[in-house]
Amino acid sequence: MTPITGVEHRTTKHTPDGEVRLYLWEKFAGSADEQRGKPAALFVHGSSMASTPTFDLTVPGRPDSSVMDWFAARGFVCWCVDMEGYGRSAKHRDIYCDIANGAADLAAATDYIARARGVTSFHTYGISSGALRAALFAQQHPERVSRLALDAFVWTGAGAPTLEQRRKKLPEFLASKRRPIDRKFVYSIFERDHPDCADRATVDAFADAILALDDSMPNGTYIDMCSRLPVVDPAKITVPTLVLRGQFDGIASMADLIDFFVRLPSPDKQFTVMNGISHASFQQKNYKMVYQILHAYFTQPAPVYTAASH
4-298: what fold? Rossmann fold (3.40.50)
Contact assessment for residue 172 and residue 147, using Cβ atoms and an 8 Å cutoff: no
Query: Which helix (H) or strand (E) covers residue 126, if one does?
Result: strand 122-127
Q: What is the pLDDT of residue 32?
A: 85
What does the DSSP 8-state code read for residue 83? P
Q: What is the pLDDT of residue 310?
A: 58
Residue 56 has pLDDT above 90, yes or no: yes
pLDDT digits (tens, 9 = 90+) for 95-142: 999 999 999 999 999 999 999 999 999 999 999 999 999 999 999 999
Neighbours of 51 (CB within 10 A): 26
Parse the chain into domains and list their residue ranges: 4-298
Q: How many residues does the chain have?
A: 310
Mean pLDDT of 177-201: 97
Average pLDDT over the chain, rounded to an integer: 97
Per 3-state DSSP, what percentage of the chain is helix, strand, and coil (rounded to 5)?
Answer: 40, 20, 40
Q: What is the pLDDT of residue 214?
A: 98
